[in-house]
Structure 1
Amino acid sequence: MIITFFIGSLLISLPALSRDCFDRAGRYYRIDPDLLRAIAFRESSWRGKAMNIVSSTEYAVGMMQIHSQNFSHLATFGITPQKLYHNSCLNIYTGAYYLSIAFKRWGYSWQAVGAYNAGFKINEQQNLKRKQYALSVQSIYKKLKQRRH
């Protein structure tokens, strides 16, 4: 009940620009925008300036918590950690890009959603992390869908 209220309150306060970016990124990558919203809520509570610092070389930035392990690949497109931190729309599109990679690899599945956070390594520990993450996102996703009806 409390989480439903919290998600509902945040949904109402989510900036219009970010809402549009979820919709546009979803259309572009053929991903339900509400699934992107659920991941963003799970990752950052929809905070565009979120930072998760593990060490000086391992950290994640922005609403979709784009991880530093991806920065060298993103640099080939001119995307920097600073841009991801300051541009929520770019951050959302980048998150959708990485989720689309997971869907291409494992199909449109909750396992692929789990890979957004826990990667593709196949072992019992990573399988459990993927499952736990996917269940968390799935719960948020269902609440978002219920609020829309």
Structure 2
Amino acid sequence: MTFWLAISLTPAAQAFCFNEAGAIYQIDPTLLKAIAQQESRLSAKAVNTNRDKRGRVLSVDDGLMQVNSTHIPRLQKMGVLRHPEDLLHQPCLNVKIGAWILAKHLRACGVNWACLGSYNAGFHPRHEKKRLHYAQQVYARYWPVVSGDRRTP
């Protein structure tokens, strides 16, 4: 483990990453952290492979915010990423990219919980139940923190 990675995973560094990303995209940092908790359990090294019913790889989700590989070509073209591995080795960058993706979604379908669910389930109409279920999971992580009820969901 590199020194930078060890520092970047401290609670103070994580808070800074979520606060900075939240400020850039005007999203509550507590909400961003709740999404990261749901997506990766706050593991910067989390990797998940998405497969179709036949087992073929469709995409891969990387890092704290589980950034989907479908975003990589655009992020590289924009100069945000050099290599896909940056999503695993630069946790703060991963959080900022996740916030950027969420901000794009919220602009597309509005600031509401159903739209937030599109971060995980996309926009296809057949994924409505999955979007709502995901939003409920994130809300269960978010609400106790913002309401002052520190009991874990």
Q: Which of 111, 114, 122 is equivalent to 2:114?
A: 111
SS in 1 for 2:48: strand
Q: CA-atom RMSD, angstroms? A: 1.7
CA distance in structure 2 between the partners assigned to 1:108 and 1:45 by the alignment = 24
Deviations 1:19-73 (A, max 9, x none): 1010011011000000000000000011111111236562110000001111111
Amino acid corresponding to residue 23 of structure 2 in structure 1: R
**Where does structure 2 lack aligned partners over 5 or more consecutive residues?**
1-8, 52-56
TM (norm. structure 1) is 0.83
Q: Does 1:51 align with 2:47?
A: yes
Q: Which of 35, 42, 50 is equivalent to 2:38?
A: 42
CA distance in structure 1 between the partners assigned to 2:44 and 2:86 by the alignment = 11
Amino acid corresponding to residue 121 of structure 1 in structure 2: H
Name the residue aligned to 1:29.
25
- 1:144, distance to aligned residue in structure 2 (A): 2.2
Name the residue aligned to 1:83.
86
CA distance in structure 2 between the partners assigned to 1:14 and 1:41 by the alignment = 15
- Give 1 or 2: higher helix fraction: 1
Stretches of 4+ moved more than 4 A in 1?
A: none
Q: Please give the residue correspondences for 1:1-149 in structure 2 after superposition, counting only pairs within 5 Å.
A: 15-54=11-50, 58-78=59-79, 79=81, 80-123=83-126, 126-145=127-146, 146=148
Deviates more, 1:128-137 or 1:70-79: 70-79
**Where does structure 1 lack aligned partners over 5 or more consecutive residues?**
1-12
Amino acid corresponding to residue 114 of structure 1 in structure 2: G
User: For this pair of structures, how many residues does the alignment match?
Assistant: 134
Q: 1:65 to 1:30 in 2, by over 3 A?
A: same
Asked whether the 8 Å contact 1:61–1:84 carries over to 2, the reply is: yes
